[in-house]
Structure formats: C-alpha cells, structure tokens
Amino acid sequence: MSQTGIPLNRHIMEQQKDYPEATGDFTGLLTQIALAAKIISREVNKAGLVNILGFTGEKNVQGEAVKKLDIFANEKMIEALTYSGHVCIMGSEEDAEPIALPPEAPRGDYAVMFDPLDGSSNIEAAITIGTIFSIHRRISSGADGTLEDLLQPGHQQAAAGYVVYGSSTMLVYTTGNGVDGFTLDPSVGEFLLSHPNIRTPERGSTYSANEGNYQYWHPEMQCYMDHIHEKDPASKRPYASRYVGSLVADFHRTLLYGGVFLYPADSKDPKTPTGKLRLLYEASPLAMVIQEAGGKASTGTENILDVQPNKLHQRVPLVIGSRAEVELAEEFFQGNR
C-alpha cells in the first residue's frame, strides 16, 4: 500500500515483499539509479555556476577536469551501475556500442539502458532536463550480457522510469504495477513518495510537438495537426500548445495533466526518416510508464511496446499520452480520417 512521504528505498522494498521470489537485486538496482540521479541533480542545479567560477577547462575541487554535463551524467550512471552486482550489460545514448562490465565487476541479471541527460540542448538555459532508464532481465546465458539482452521489445521491460530535473527533482518509475512519483527533498537527500499511483487523464486538450517541422511532416501528421487547430468547443479544440523541447519535461507534463506529445517521422533529414527519438532510451521506457498510468504510446501505426528493436540506437516516431488522444492521432496516421 502506497504511503505518501515514505522514502523511495522503503517503497521499493515494500513492493518487493509482494514477490517472494525477489532476491533484492531489483531494490539494489533502483537504489543505484536513484543515487546517480541525486548526484546528477546536484550538478544540474549548479550548472550555470561553472563558467562564473572559472572551472571550465580547469580542475574542479576534486582535482578532476570539469566535464560537459551530459558526459558527467553518463559517467555517473555507468559508475553507479557497474559495480552494483545487478547488471550484466548497459547501453547509453551517449555510447555508440553496448557498455560491457570490466572483468573484476560482479555480474548480475539485468540489462540497463539510459539516456543520461535528455534535452541536453536546454542545459545552458536552465530549462528542465532529465534522465530516462529502461531495465530488462537478461535473456542470454553466458557470463557477460550481450546485445541480445539490450534488443528486447518494450513489453519485456522489467521496469522503466525517468528523473526530471525541474523546479524540483522528481523520479518516476514503474515495475509493471502502476506508476509512482518521488520528489527529492534536498535537505535530507532522499526521494520521498509524492505522487502515488499516477493515472493519466483519459483525454486531454494539450498537444506538444515541434511545429517548426510542419513543412517536413508527412501529410497524415499535417492533417492531424490541422484537425486539432480547428475550432470546435465541444471537443475542446483548438488544443493548447506546450513544447519545452526536453522530452522528459514534455512527457512528465503530459503524464500528469493529459494530452499528447508527438515527434513523428519527417523528411527533414534523409538519414533519420523515422524521426528523432530513440526507441530504447526514450520511447520504450516512457511507453511502459504511460501504459501503466492508463495512457498509450504508438508509432502512429504500432504500439511502441511491440516494436522489435534491430539496433541499439534505433529511432522511432512517437505519439504518447492520454489514450483517447493517441488513438485519435492513430486514426489520422492510419488513414482512417
């Protein structure tokens, strides 16, 4: 039973009690992710000070060269997981290849993927950014994890979630048993349960998309966008527009308030005809969260959780949010409107 205010660790342990076969690995894994999130949150909060204090290109107080925040976040995620004993392989949006464990690190049963700092183009402007993570049970049987452990469809995720570094820092996750949100209390350094059992409204009247791409969108997306711009008070159209340009921030708002976020396929860059967002680091984990909250995620024609990945950095069109809003967009994408 969820109790507002309890620390993340206790919440995870209480949830695990429902699974007598649970080994505690999972609790340890999420605890390590939360630890990395606290360290990243601390650095994000002082990002603007780096130049003022003259650290750039020099050494920080620990004598380490100061790094770009996205590289720093990537290193913290990898460090937190490498020696946890719960992981056999990792994948990061920042690394072209799967991240193997060093020989001395203990091996565990999980494959973890993450976007360490999503929305990184917003860092310099103190705009909300985030970390997204996806956890699979390994399916390979050797000592080390393999690419096969990472290339699993989203419906096989054991857990997924994200951290949003905004006006407060929040960690939201699901293990397939509802979605819970925790707010970091910086004074005690703990994530405390603030949003138990999050449910996404069935409908919403807010859309979130980079409309600057309108001329590059395919006709079905243009028709959908024209539709939600029409004046029809009965269906709350025209919808309101909100776009931060950090997926985590746009997603988090959509999860809580309802509506729809879209990053469709477009013809902008012939090298990325399937849109911009990554299946394994962005779309798939957020799809598990939204589905557990009663919403839906789609490519426009297929449930995101059913997409079989064929490469680590695969991109995918994404329509995600309130169930009825995603289904309305799907009708356009599938040519039924």
Nearer to Mg ion, 155 or 313 (CB): 313
Please identify which residue in 108, 116, 119, 145 interacts with ligand AHM, judged by CB under 6 A: 119
Among positions 192-221, residues that touch ligand AHM (CB under 6 A) are: 210
DSSP secondary structure code for residue 151 in this structure: S
56, interface contact from ligand AHM, Mg ion, none, CB < 5-8 Å by kind: none
Element (H, E) at 223: helix 219-229
Cβ nearer to Mg ion, comparing 115 with 220:
115
In the complex, minimum distance from the CB of residue 255 to ligand AHM, in angstroms, rounded to a whole number: 14
304-308 — which CB contacts under 8 Å span 24+ positions?
304/154, 304/279, 305/153, 305/154, 305/155, 305/157, 306/153, 306/154, 306/155, 307/153, 307/154, 307/279, 307/283, 308/151, 308/153
Nearest approach, Cβ of 130 to ligand AHM (angstroms)?
8
Range 185-193, long-range pairs (CB < 8 A, 24+ positions): 189/38, 190/7, 190/8, 191/7, 191/8, 191/34, 191/37, 191/38, 192/5, 192/6, 192/7, 192/8, 193/2, 193/3, 193/4, 193/5, 193/6, 193/7, 193/8, 193/11
Close Cβ partners of 94 (under 8 Å, ≥ 6 residues apart): 70, 71, 74, 116
Cβ-based burial of 144 (10 A; exposed 0-12, middle 13-18, buried ≥19): middle
Annotated binding-site positions for substrate: 118-121, 210, 243, 276
The neighbouring-strand residues paired with 130 are 118, 164
Distance CA 300, CA 249 (A): 21
**Nearest distance in Å: CB 25, Mg ion:** 27
Nearer to ligand AHM by C-beta: 115 or 149? 115
Among 246, 254, 284, 291, binds ligand AHM (CB under 6 A): 246
Q: Residue 210 binds what, of ligand AHM, Mg ion, none (CB under 5 to 8 Å, by partner type)? A: ligand AHM
Residue 118 near ligand AHM by CB under 6 A: yes
Q: Which stretch binds ligand AHM (CB under 6 A): 26-34, 111-119, 167-175, 320-328?
A: 111-119
Tell me which of 50, 245, 302, 303 binds ligand AHM, using CB under 6 A: 245
> Footprint of ligand AHM on residues 264-293 (CB under 6 A)?
276
From the list Mg ion, ligand AHM, none, pick the one residue 315 interacts with, judged by a Cβ distance below 5 to 8 Å according to partner type: none
Q: Which residues contact 42 (CB under 8 A, 6 or more apart)?
A: none
Q: Is 217 helix (H, G, I), strand (E, B) or coil?
A: strand
Interacting stretch for Mg ion, rule CB under 5 A, among 32-40, 112-120, 159-167, 215-223? 112-120
Partner interacting with residue 45 (select from ligand AHM, Mg ion, none; CB below 5-8 Å by kind): none
Q: Is 149 in the site for Mg ion (CB under 5 A)?
A: no
Per CB under 5 A, does 115 bind Mg ion?
yes
Instruction: Using the minimum distance from each CB to ligand AHM, give the nearer residue, 119 or 300.
Output: 119
- Which helix (H) or strand (E) covers residue 206, if one does? strand 206-208
Q: Closest CB to Mg ion among 115 and 266?
A: 115
Asked if 294 interacts with ligand AHM (CB under 6 A), we say no
Q: How many of the other CB atoms lie within 10 Å of CB of 6?
A: 15
Q: List residues binding Mg ion (CB under 5 A).
A: 115, 118
Q: List residues binding ligand AHM (CB under 6 A).
A: 93, 115, 118-121, 210, 245-247, 263, 276
